[in-house]
Structure 1
Amino acid sequence: MGIEAQAEALARTLPAVAVLARARKNETRFLASHQMEAALRIHRLFEKAQIRQNVTMRYGPKVSGLRGNGDSVSDMAIDARMRLESLLTDLPRDCQSVLRDICGYDMGIHDVEQLHGWPRRSGKIVLRLALDLAAARMGLSPLARGQETCGTRFWVQPGAMPSEIG
């Protein structure tokens, strides 16, 4: 996904992160593309994990899940919760909370700074560090690198000649 497409996806899903992803006049972006991708992946994991509370009312009949009652969690949500937990457990506590609050619960950076009692403009630095650590855990890096040495592969044996079908 290109940088502009990432910025558009961030603007739709994570407005607080999208502000940091924009390039300003004669300046580079505050967040690199691997950090933006990490934010999008964490947001998608939160969506799949169904951690947020529902704020709308459902008027239709209660659909029962595979486990019997209607409040059961799907296997996809359980898998997403386990992946999210394994991603966040090794990060420092402040990084965990920033990623949960901003990428998961769509809080603004200013709100997170007030919640934690941090000085102004420090939330974006912690977010950048947290996204960098999360991106490294996901295998994302600022530069795309291939294998150092990779031999040429053929689908036929060396020296093979085509034969007529007879």
Structure 2
Amino acid sequence: MSASRRDRAFEREVRRVFRHFLEPGARAGTLPDGGIGLYGPRGGKPAIKTEQTFWSLCEARDLVTAGTGDDKGFWRPSEAGRAFYRRLVAEADPFGEQHRLMGTRVLRDAGGGEARLPVNEAESPLAWLRHRKGADGQHLIDATQFEAGERLRADFTVGQLTPRVTADWSAVTASGKRARDPAEIADHALAARQRVNRALVAVGPRLSDILLAVCCHLEGLEAAERSFGWPKRSAKLVLQIALDRLAAHYGMTKASDQAVAATARASD
């Protein structure tokens, strides 16, 4: 394999692994078979696995740092690793980075609170799909799929799970009123994180990757395809399947779909 191909393969694996590794509380440890597993803050089974050879390259490039104290025997992402990942994501979607116009939208999350969510006013990937139609005249994603994706992103942001954007915490409480007690905010964020975790587990490991990329990190479909090494024009179908499973997890029935569709038509 040529040096350029090795570099592209390494960068592709960095995008795949660090998308999970940069989540709050994540750390990496050696598996019994010699590979590397990424664990969430509560431990348990590794959420994702990678090869020792890849990890050795990450250490050589100072993308990861060895833990101390309670973290001894584990690794955390270094500042250089965070910066490298952000650069790779930006390079994977240069058009999106150039044309992204960030604003805010107030959404009510599943816990009854409100959050000011960062949105791309030049259209998020889900909004783009929702407002475009295919050759059959139907929207590329339906109202229920769109609502499910937005609900996941609401919990993702309220739970402060993304390193790329920051929620307006002054507006988030369990009652939807302005927060005054930091502990109340922490409890609300923890509940949101638990809902995100349950949703991603219900959808499954492969499908959850595309949901995180598109719904939560606002990556375009082409950028996601390059990140995952998928064939061109495959991400849309995978995303549709993932959104269907997500909607099923949320209990969005056909009746609720009709209600969501009526709301969507009113806002079109």
TM tier, shorter chain? 0.5 to 0.7
Cα distance change on mapping 1:66 and 1:54 into 2, 3 Å: farther
Task: Report percent identity of matched pairs.
Answer: 27
Equivalent position of 2:125 in the other structure = 16
The one-letter code sitting in structure 1 at the alignment partner of 2:199 is L
Number of aligned positions between the proteins = 125
Equivalent position of 1:50 in the other structure = 160
Equivalent position of 2:219 in the other structure = 107
Structure-2 separation of matches of 1:89 and 1:13: 31
Equivalent position of 1:139 in the other structure = 251
Structure-1 separation of matches of 2:199 and 2:122: 20
Cα distance change on mapping 1:14 and 1:50 into 2, 3 Å: farther
Retained in 2: the 8 A contact 1:95–1:126? yes
What TM-score, normalized to structure 2? Answer: 0.42
Structure 1 residue ranges without an equivalent (≥5): 1-9, 57-63, 68-72, 146-166
Task: State the superposition RMSD in angstroms.
Answer: 2.9
C-alpha distance after superposition, 1:25-51 (max 9, x if no partner): 861111111101101101101111101
Equivalent position of 1:31 in the other structure = 141
Equivalent position of 1:89 in the other structure = 201
C-alpha distance after superposition, 1:49-79 (max 9, x if no partner): 10112668xxxxxxx9449xxxxx7111110
Structure-1 separation of matches of 2:150 and 2:165: 22
The one-letter code sitting in structure 2 at the alignment partner of 1:85 is N
Cα distance change on mapping 1:13 and 1:87 into 2, 3 Å: farther
Retained in 2: the 8 A contact 1:33–1:142? no
Cα distance change on mapping 1:12 and 1:136 into 2, 3 Å: farther
The structure whose residues are more often strand, as a share, is 2
The one-letter code sitting in structure 2 at the alignment partner of 1:15 is S
Instruction: Report which of the two structures shows the higher radius of gyration computed on alpha carbons.
Output: 1
Structure 2 residue ranges without an equivalent (≥5): 1-118, 167-180, 258-268
Cα distance, 1:122 vs structure 2: 0.6
**Among residues 86, 106, 119, which one is paired with 2:231 in the alignment?**
119
**Among residues 187, 192, 208, which one is paired with 1:80 in the alignment?**
192
Cα distance change on mapping 1:23 and 1:54 into 2, 3 Å: closer
Structure-1 separation of matches of 2:122 and 2:189: 19
- Higher RCO structure, 1 or 2 (CA under 8 Å, sep 6+): 1
Structure-1 separation of matches of 2:160 and 2:148: 19
